[in-house]
């Protein structure tokens, strides 16, 4: 591998990473992604980092890894996880990343840490994710579509600022194409219908996923959660839409947020923005730059009219795509 290609990242010695992770021990695992395990590592200068261990399973994996390193070593934004370095050993490839002490967002939405963040913190997380995606889509020298935005891929810093992680699925999108057809690589429940069902990829796929994550942050419910023992078999997006139609979408809000009247009105506007992000066709969704402006200025939808989103129905949910 040509070290000079990766100017933004440091080449780490494998033995140093082995030592820093206690030989990649089970107790040092802090996450498992589609591409491999992530370990907490303490380097000899007491600097704490995360090490993502990837197994080279096929001939194209090395090239994918090189693309990932090239891509993320040049990206610097407060809402995108920073790549610090890389290493190779045998069949294994390693990415050395910023360590996020508070782990992933999903742990704060459901599970033991639920209810520990207030509305201001929730809003800053939503806003930060939007800014990070807008940077990937527009502000970097090449358009990047993440493809797999979900609550587990949003990491939180020690002061709960969000950073988008896992660029393992990110690929370059040609500037001269509005979309490309590609093998499905996202997570059902977060994935836009046109991508999940037909493999059509554009930046608006990330807009859709952002809308779903925003609804999860507001409701404290998983996108694919269905009420147990209930006649209601709706996923979160369908449930939210039905409440919106009745103008009762205030019921989507997680009770643990304990909002005042002003905050409640603010959240209801953001629910509408989230629904706008899930519209079909994709052309009716806003760009992430537009979403940032809407969130920043507390705008309502203006002249935009919401239409019923396309739902992936019960039969489609059981299809294994790609």
Is 53 within any annotated ligand binding site? yes
For the chain, residues classed under CATH 1.10.510.10 are 106-317
In this prediction, residue 151 carries a pLDDT of 94
Looking only at the bridges linking them, the beta strands covering 83-89 and 10-11 are: parallel
For the chain, residues classed under CATH 3.30.200.20 are 3-98
Structure token digits, residue 223: 């996108």
**pLDDT under 70 in the chain at which residues?**
1-8, 33-35, 57-62, 64-65, 67-68, 167-186, 227-233, 300, 312-322
In this prediction, residue 155 carries a pLDDT of 95
Q: What is the pLDDT of residues 132-177, one digit of tens each?
A: 999 999 877 778 888 889 999 999 999 999 999 976 444 434 344 4
Could you tell me if residue 38 is left (phi over 0), alpha (psi between -120 and 50 degrees) or otherwise beta? beta
What is the architecture, at CATH level 2, of domain 106-317? Orthogonal Bundle (1.10)
In this prediction, residue 167 carries a pLDDT of 61
Question: 3-class DSSP state for residue 10?
Answer: strand
The pLDDT mean for the chain works out to 83
Is 254 among the catalytic positions? no
Q: Which one of the listed residues 16, 148, 255, 316 is annotated catalytic? A: 148
Q: For the domain 3-98, what is the CATH code?
A: 3.30.200.20
Strands (E), 157-223: 162-164, 171-172, 180-181, 200-201
- How far is residue 278 from each of residues 22, 241, 244, 321, measured CA to CA in Å? 44, 10, 13, 20
């Amino acid at each position: 591998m040509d070290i000079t290609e990766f100017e933004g990242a440091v080449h780490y010695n494998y033995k140093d990473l082995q030592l820093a992770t206690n030989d990649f021990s089970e107790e040092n695992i802090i996450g498992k992604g589609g591409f491999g395990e992530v370990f907490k590592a303490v380097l000899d200068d007491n600097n704490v980092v995360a090490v993502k261990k990837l197994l080279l399973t096929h001939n194209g994996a090395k090239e994918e890894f090189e693309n990932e390193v090239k891509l993320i070593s040049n990206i610097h934004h407060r809402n995108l996880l920073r790549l610090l370095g890389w290493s190779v050993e045998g069949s294994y490839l390693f990415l050395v990343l910023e360590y996020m002490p508070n782990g992933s967002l999903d742990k704060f939405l459901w599970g033991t840490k639920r209810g520990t963040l207030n509305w201001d913190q929730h809003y800053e997380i939503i806003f930060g994710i939007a800014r990070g995606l807008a940077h990937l889509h527009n502000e970097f020298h090449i358009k990047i579509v993440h493809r797999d935005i979900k609550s587990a891929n949003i990491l939180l810093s020690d002061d709960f600022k969000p950073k988008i992680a896992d660029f393992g699925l990110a690929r370059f999108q040609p500037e001269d194409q509005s979309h490309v057809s590609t093998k499905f690589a996202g997570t059902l429940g977060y994935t836009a219908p046109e991508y999940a069902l037909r493999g059509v990829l554009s930046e608006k796929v990330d807009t859709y996923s952002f809308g779903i994550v925003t609804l999860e942050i507001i409701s404290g419910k998983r996108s694919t959660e269905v009420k147990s023992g209930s006649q209601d078999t709706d996923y979160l997006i369908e449930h939210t839409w039905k409440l919106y139609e009745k103008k009762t979408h205030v019921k989507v809000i997680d009770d643990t947020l304990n909002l005042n009247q002003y905050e409640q009105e603010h959240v209801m506007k953001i629910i509408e923005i989230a629904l706008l992000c899930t519209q079909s066709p994709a052309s009716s969704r806003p760009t992430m730059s537009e979403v940032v402006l809407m969130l920043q200025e507390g705008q309502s939808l203006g002249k935009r009219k919401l239409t019923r989103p396309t739902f992936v129905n019960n039969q489609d949910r059981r299809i294994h795509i790609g």
